[in-house]
């Protein structure tokens, strides 16, 4: 029996204990599990089973699980609506502030107001502070549960303070050193505290070269900082270097997942995270984008109809329309994916624009030349008409080059205008490539009509 089968067997046994109202046995087994496994089990229950679970677990025990559970937004709203408002408020009180804010951000304003009115005033103050920050910034994802000490403390007093605050802190691997005005002036690791003598002053051992992020920084930039410096957490400061909170690596993993899903959604022209939607909901969300692309596609059809007389004289031209448009569309999508990825990982915002554009033009010319040469030979030998092969090959070269240019230029332009470059989705680039490819193809074909009229 593999690990998944064993876990499923345990799920069934635990569900049996829940249904048989054996609370003590259930709690002993459930609370012995890892929090992730608790969340998986919770998500597998139906509403009636979850209602019974709420009577078995305290708000604190539910809070520990909800600190790590990852679910669809609608599911989270449904879960909270099943609980009593007081139970939800008590659970939010026990959660880390950043996770509580993530949960509240999924609710309607009226629901947020109701829960906040039942929570502790100190927790409400912290939550409102985080709710006030712009979405997808460092401030919106930071945690306010951290350990800070002052420079004139000794290691002994710092360890005493750490023991008191460790239970509440989200992470204790780093201890931040602040001034009397709460300005960040240094950082020390837990290891530093352990290996130094008790009477050593913090000021003599703190690391003064601090890597921090501003509260208004984009969450993607924060993710790059943690990735580049291999941090477990990074401090968040305001414009006056006052320490406001920390961002931990587990939150950054969530950010990376969200950004990757967002980028892929843009490239695919669909919300890839909406996997649990009903067919009707999924259709309603996809239709606007598809209808827009339909009208763009109509422009391609209109352009082809403009060259109807040309096709009538040389019907062989119609055979290769989809070949050229499809290849150019694929090249444009490849270029788009590379451009979006380079924009995401590069820090040089000025130099990369021209480098990327020039690079994609050269890539388009090289791939276009090779692809054009191949199709030139194939069509030449297949149709015994190397002039026709030459037309198809040159059209392929030009179409791929233009598609590569569009696939890189459009996301670059969108970033310059302040939009998410991933919104320049694959379907849009493909449709645009169809339009330009048809225009290029028939204009080149017109120049050589005398060589294949009637074919």
Alpha-carbon distance of 171 to 245, in angstroms, equals 11
Residue 436 lies in a domain: yes
pLDDT-derived band at 455, boundaries 50, 70, 90: low
> What CATH number is associated with residue 388?
1.10.357.20
Question: Which residues are registered as beta bridge partners of 207?
Answer: 187
Q: Are 147 and 166 in contact (CB under 8 A)?
A: yes
Q: How many CB atoms lie within 10 A of CB 287?
A: 11
Give yes or no: residues 113 and 74 share one domain.
Answer: yes
Q: Which residue has the tokens 């679970």?
A: 53
Question: What is the helix (H) or strand (E) element at residue 40, kind and residue range?
Answer: helix 35-44
- What local confidence, expressed as pLDDT, does residue 215 receive? 95
**Mean pLDDT across 48-59:** 93
Give yes or no: residues 152 and 297 share one domain.
Answer: no
Closest C-alpha to 18, from 40, 46, 37: 46
Measure Cα distances from 437 to 387, 403, 444 in Å.
19, 8, 11
Render pLDDT for 123-172 as a digit per residue (tens, 0 to 9): 899 899 888 898 889 998 898 888 899 988 999 998 998 888 887 787 88
Structure tokens belonging to residue 223: 């993710």
pLDDT-derived band at 212, boundaries 50, 70, 90: very high
Domain that holds residue 195: 148-256
Percent of the chain with pLDDT over 70: 86
Query: Going by DSSP bridges, is the β-strand pair 213-214/243-248 parallel, antiparallel, or unpaired?
Result: unpaired
Residue 227 has pLDDT above 80, yes or no: yes
Render pLDDT for 331-371 as a digit per residue (tens, 0 to 9): 888 887 777 767 666 655 555 667 777 887 888 899 999 99
Q: Give the max Cα distance, the chain.
A: 97
- Last residue in a domain, options 141, 172, 191: 141
Give yes or no: residues 213 and 87 share one domain.
Answer: no
In this prediction the pTM is 0.63
Render pLDDT for 376-434 as a digit per residue (tens, 0 to 9): 999 989 988 899 999 999 999 999 999 888 888 877 777 777 666 655 566 777 778 88
Give yes or no: residues 442 and 337 share one domain.
Answer: yes
Structure tokens belonging to residue 431: 């449709």
End-to-end CA distance of the chain: 66
Please tell me the chain's helix, strand, coil percentages from 3-state DSSP, rounded to the nearest 5: 70, 10, 25
Give yes or no: residues 358 and 444 share one domain.
Answer: yes
Residue 266 lies in a domain: no
**Mean pLDDT across 210-225:** 91
Alpha-carbon distance of 442 to 394, in angstroms, equals 11
Residue 300 lies in a domain: yes
Adjacency order of strands within the sheet including 233-237:
213-214, 233-237, 243-248
Give yes or no: residues 286 and 313 share one domain.
Answer: yes
Residue 271 lies in a domain: no
Residue 264 lies in a domain: no
- Last residue in a domain, options 108, 141, 174: 141
Alpha-carbon distance of 285 to 271, in angstroms, equals 8
Residue 270 lies in a domain: no
Give yes or no: residues 187 and 171 share one domain.
Answer: yes
> What CATH number is associated with residue 226?
3.10.580.10
Residue 288 has pLDDT above 80, yes or no: no
**Mean pLDDT across 295-312:** 80
Give yes or no: residues 416 and 288 share one domain.
Answer: yes
Give yes or no: residues 283 and 397 share one domain.
Answer: yes
Render pLDDT for 169-204 as a digit per residue (tens, 0 to 9): 878 888 999 998 999 999 998 888 889 999 999 988
Question: What is the helix (H) or strand (E) element at residue 247, kind and residue range?
Answer: strand 243-248
Residue 272 lies in a domain: no
Alpha-carbon distance of 401 to 331, in angstroms, equals 8
Give yes or no: residues 352 and 441 share one domain.
Answer: yes
Alpha-carbon distance of 11 to 9, in angstroms, equals 5
Q: Which 3 state secondary structure label does DSSP give 273?
A: coil
- What local confidence, expressed as pLDDT, does residue 273 receive? 52
- Domain count of the fold of the chain: 3
Query: Going by DSSP bridges, is the β-strand pair 174-178/184-189 parallel, antiparallel, or unpaired?
Result: antiparallel
- Last residue in a domain, options 256, 291, 318: 256
Structure tokens belonging to residue 237: 């400061």
Residue 275 has pLDDT above 60, yes or no: no
Residue 411 lies in a domain: yes
Give yes or no: residues 156 and 137 share one domain.
Answer: no
Give yes or no: residues 238 and 284 share one domain.
Answer: no
Structure tokens belonging to residue 379: 């069509």
């Amino acid at each position: 029996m593999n690990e998944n089968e064993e876990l499923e067997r345990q799920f069934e046994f635990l569900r049996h204990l829940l249904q048989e109202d054996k609370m003590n046995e259930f709690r002993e087994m459930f609370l012995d599990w890892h929090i992730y496994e608790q969340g998986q089990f919770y998500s597998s229950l139906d509403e009636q089973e979850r209602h019974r679970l709420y009577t078995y677990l305290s708000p604190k025990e539910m809070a520990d699980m909800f600190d790590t559970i990852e679910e669809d937004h609608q599911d989270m709203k449904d879960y909270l609506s099943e609980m009593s408002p007081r139970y939800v408020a008590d659970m939010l009180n026990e959660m880390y502030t950043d996770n509580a804010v993530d949960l509240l951000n999924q609710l309607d304003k009226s629901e947020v107001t109701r829960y906040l009115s039942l929570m502790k005033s100190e927790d409400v103050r912290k939550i409102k502070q985080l709710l006030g920050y712009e979405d997808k910034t460092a401030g919106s994802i930071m945690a306010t549960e951290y350990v800070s000490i002052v420079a004139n403390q000794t290691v002994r007093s710092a360890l005493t303070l750490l023991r008191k605050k460790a239970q509440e802190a989200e992470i204790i691997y780093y201890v931040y050193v602040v001034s009397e005005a709460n300005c960040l002036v240094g950082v020390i690791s837990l290891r530093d505290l352990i290996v130094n003598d008790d009477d050593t002053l913090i000021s003599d051992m703190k690391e003064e070269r601090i890597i921090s992020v501003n509260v208004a920084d984009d969450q993607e930039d924060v993710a790059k900082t943690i990735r580049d410096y291999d941090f477990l957490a990074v401090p968040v400061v305001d414009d006056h270097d006052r320490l406001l909170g920390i961002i931990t690596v587990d939150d950054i993993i969530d950010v990376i997942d969200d950004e990757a899903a967002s980028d892929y959604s843009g490239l695919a022209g669909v919300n890839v995270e909406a996997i649990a939607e009903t067919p009707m909901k999924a259709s309603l969300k996809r239709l606007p984008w598809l209808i827009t692309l339909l009208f763009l596609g109509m422009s391609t059809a209109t352009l082809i109809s403009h060259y109807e007389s040309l096709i009538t004289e040389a019907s062989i031209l119609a055979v290769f329309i989809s070949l050229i448009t499809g290849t150019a569309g694929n090249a444009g999508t490849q270029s788009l994916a590379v451009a979006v990825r380079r924009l995401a990982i590069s820090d040089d915002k000025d130099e990369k624009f021209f480098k990327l554009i020039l690079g994609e033009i050269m890539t388009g010319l090289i791939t276009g030349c090779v692809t054009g040469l191949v199709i030139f030979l194939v069509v030449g030998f297949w149709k015994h008409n190397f002039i026709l092969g030459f037309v198809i090959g040159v059209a392929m070269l030009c179409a791929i080059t233009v598609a590569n240019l569009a696939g890189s230029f459009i996301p670059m332009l969108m970033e310059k205008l302040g939009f998410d470059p991933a919104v320049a989705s694959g379907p849009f680039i493909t449709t645009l490539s169809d339009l330009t490819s048809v225009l290029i193809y028939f204009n080149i074909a017109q120049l050589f009509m005398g060589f294949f009229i009637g074919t």
